Amino acid sequence: MENPIIANPILPVAGVHRNHAADGGAGPPNGKQHDDETPNPEGRVKSDHSTPSNALLRCRRPFIMGTINASTVREEARLAGLAHCAEKRGVEILGVQEHRRVHAHDPIVYCKVGNCSLITSSAWRNEAQAATGGVGLLLSPRARKALRRVHQHTDRILIADFDGNPVTTIMVVYSPTNVAPVEEVEKFYEDLRTTVRDGPAHNFLAILGDFNARLGPEDAPFTYHDSTNRNGEHLAALLTEHELLAANTLFRKRMGKRWTFQDRATSMTRQLDYILLRRKWRTSILNAESYSTFDSVGSDHRVVSTRVRLSLRVPKPSPRIHHDWEAFSRSPDLQARYTVEVRNRFQLLATEEGPSTAYERFVAANVKATRECVPTTERIRVSPSTYDKIKGEELMEKVRRVEAAQGKQQYGESWRVINEMSGCKRSKEGQVAGCSPEERVTSWFTNFRDLLGTHPTVDGAEKVITAVLTNL
């Protein structure tokens, strides 16, 4: 029998669970009093803000997620092999691109693969009616239990939320290739930006995808390629705009651990697959790399995985660099080198641009030249105990001076040091010269009149100051 709807529900009181209060009000169940029973036999009620028992992201238990372009998993044997590899490597969440399973009438399909669960959005057919594309998720039993919901944003973007505090949001994406039409690539990144922007900022966001993009060293720390291609420029803009990091470019790995794709015709290797995470969760990333354990699947891509564990520590700020400007001002060689560095960097990309852009490049050139040309100094940190030690040494030195003056019968010197130690008969510091208040006011007025009242004198004709930006 269904419970009737209560117009004014009674809120639970201390010691009573929400469900108990909703079923029978705030009083004891079945009209019994707690004469011989504890008011809360099940123990303390868990807070609504505590981490759920099936949370995927925890502070003490790391988990592994990865991404792979499987080429195809339409055959059950290849799908079983993919699930076996994921289970063997301990991958809890595996983003799958290009599974090529078409189910146009069902936007989301769930299927069981051994102990794992496969969730797919439908692939599509090209002009030759061949199945292509499709994204999905391969989940372990633990991840399947934590799953909240799955949503298909587009044919190339699949979104899933998992229990936890914060909630874990996983996006599986498959980008058009670098030779695809520009409009298609721009539409994909616009959809991806909308998805990232609409998601809660507090969620632990991870984007698992085949981006078909190359990132160069100017866009990521440790990359496989020396330059950024067209898709890489779109990806770099996305990282900058939404403060994301490519996890598999954060760690200094050997080159064999960085590439993710090998061309079967030319055997050339490339880095095209990435796992993107928010910059605010950088301390939660323990490791990220690509490896060939999934070769039995038959794909030309390697799996990229990252190991994460919830960390709520605030990243340490970078230490402040103190430059020795006095040494720089005394060295003509450093000044000449600084001038050459600024001129070369500023004129490196000199084009027709507005004043604001030119000024920004000029400031950036000065910052880089300062790092390379101006020497640095180490800041000496003195602890409070060091100050106390210095004061004690100064006091003992004055005591020895008093004793020495007393032994030589120099009583005036002895009393002068004693007054200096005790602070008695201290001269009035900062007082304006003058024997009376009227004289001190006159001295004050005369000083400021001489300081501010006289007009500056300029020798010679006016000099025209040349523009710095045009002559550099």
Give dist(CA 24, CA 17) in Å, integer: 11
pLDDT of residue 119: 96
Query: Among 349, 334, 200, which residue's Cα sits nearest to residue 278?
Result: 200
Write out the DSSP string of 390-430: HHHHHHHHHHHHHHHHHHTT-HHHHHHHHHHHHTTT---TT
333: its two tokens: 């060689």
Q: Quick one: pLDDT at residue 59?
A: 87
For β-strands 204-210 and 168-174, DSSP reports them as parallel
- Distance between the two ends of the chain, CA-based, in angstroms? 85
pTM above 0.75, yes or no: no
Would you state the pLDDT for residue 97? 96
pLDDT value, residue 30: 46
| pLDDT by position in tens, the chain (length 472) | 444 443 444 334 444 444 443 444 444 444 444 444 444 444 444 444 445 578 888 888 999 999 999 999 999 999 999 999 999 999 999 999 999 999 988 989 999 999 999 999 999 999 899 999 999 999 999 999 999 999 999 999 999 999 998 999 999 999 999 999 999 999 999 999 999 999 999 999 999 999 999 999 999 999 999 999 999 999 999 999 999 999 999 999 999 999 999 999 999 999 999 999 999 999 999 999 999 888 888 899 999 999 999 998 766 676 778 888 888 888 999 999 998 888 887 776 555 667 777 787 888 888 888 888 898 887 666 666 777 888 888 888 888 888 888 888 888 888 888 888 776 666 666 677 777 888 888 888 888 777 776 666 666 666 676 665 554 4
Going from the C-alpha of 181 to that of each of 232, 273, 355, the distances in angstroms are 15, 20, 35
pLDDT of residue 422: 77
Q: Which of 225, 252, 220, 221 is nearest to 235 (CA)?
A: 220
- The SS3 assignment for 287 reads strand
Q: What one-character-per-residue DSSP string does 303-357 give?
A: EEEEEE----PPPPPPPPPEE-HHHHHT-HHHHHHHHHHHHHHHHTT--S--HHH
**How much is the pLDDT for 295?**
82
- Structural domains of the chain sorted by starting position, each given as residue range(s) with its CATH number in brackets: 1-42 (no CATH), 63-308 (3.60.10.10), 322-377 (no CATH)
Work out the angle at residue 11's Cα, subtended by the Cα atoms of residues 5 and 16, and round it to the nearest 5 degrees: 110
Report how far residue 328's alpha carbon sits from residue 321's, in angstroms, rounded to the nearest whole number: 15
